[in-house]
Amino acid sequence: MGATTAMSTATAQKQGSGAAPPLGRAALGVAVCVVAAWLALLGWLLASVDATDVTWERLLAVLASLQAVAFAAAGALFGTSVQGQRVAEQRQRADAAEVRAAAGEQARINGEKLAAGVKLDRAGRAGNGRQPLSADRAGEPDPLLDLAQRLFPD
């Protein structure tokens, strides 16, 4: 599988999973309405300063129940925007890492090919009685062949 195919497959997998999508239109509308209702209830409480104790207790009970839902809605509104930015940054980092990994894989393949070529060249030259390309003398160790053997053993 080529580096380009691997990158496109990984990108497709990444886009199909991962972070939650942003709020849809309906969810966004509900969240805004709930927060607006909570703010309206707070305004009503401020306007009802002269209400009786029983009325205040009832209004505070309604406020407490609506407040929990309003805070969840506000968290969804702000959380999706903040997380959306973080997800975009992480996707950029992942894409850059995939490019580096593909380049590293290609370098590994090229290194193995080079090592195999050096091994074949040196083995063929020794078997034919031909002179090696380097200025090495016969009987002395070949540093390039030694390096290829150490890095890429058979």
| 65-73: long-range pairs with CB below 8 Å, 24+ | 66/34, 66/37, 66/38, 66/41, 67/38, 69/34, 69/38, 70/34, 70/35, 70/37, 70/38, 73/30, 73/31, 73/32, 73/34, 73/35
Greatest C-alpha distance within the chain = 112
Residue 56: both structure tokens together:
């205040």
What was the pLDDT predicted at 60?
86
- Portion of the chain with pLDDT greater than 90, in percent: 11
Phi, psi of 91 (to 5 degrees): -65, -40
Q: What is the pTM of this model?
A: 0.41
18-73 residue pLDDT tens: 445 566 788 888 888 888 988 998 898 888 888 888 988 888 888 888 888 888 88
What was the pLDDT predicted at 98?
95
The residues spanned by each domain of the chain are 23-127+140-151
